[in-house]
């Protein structure tokens, strides 16, 4: 049960860090005024949580097996979602 709990917490922190960073970049770039400041805070929060993820997973001995596979799956899913979002935005901008 502790391996499942560790995997859950690892994926939770990784996805939170990545999504917070990406949302912060979009908010800082497209926002104005206070929303731009919120975007920068989200970027910093994503970076800090990313370091927490890296530090937490470096202490775990089963990192190279189970969690590494999950990380690759999550990063692959996010890259695919990012490409789809880019195509969507390009289609809307051209229309």
SS (H, E, C) the chain: CHHHHHHHHHHHHHHHHHHHHHHHHHHHHHCCCHHHHHHHHHHHHHHHHHHHHHHHHHCCCCHHHHHHHHHHHHHHHHHHHHHHHHHHHHHHHHC
pLDDT, tens digit, 9 for 90 and up, residues 15-73: 889 888 988 898 888 888 888 888 899 999 999 999 988 887 777 665 666 667 777 88
Q: Looking at the 3D structure of the chain, how many domains does it have?
A: 1
For residue 40, what are the domain limits?
Answer: 2-94
Name the pTM for this structure: 0.67
In this prediction, residue 1 carries a pLDDT of 46
């Amino acid at each position: 049960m502790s391996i499942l709990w560790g995997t859950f917490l690892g994926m939770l922190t990784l996805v939170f860090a990545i999504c917070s960073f990406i949302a912060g970049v979009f908010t800082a770039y497209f926002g104005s005024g206070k929303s731009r400041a919120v975007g920068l805070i989200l970027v910093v929060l994503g970076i800090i949580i990313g370091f927490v993820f890296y530090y937490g997973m470096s202490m775990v001995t089963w990192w190279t097996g189970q969690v590494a596979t999950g990380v690759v799956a999550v990063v692959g899913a996010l890259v695919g979602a990012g490409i789809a979002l880019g195509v969507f935005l390009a289609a809307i901008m051209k229309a």
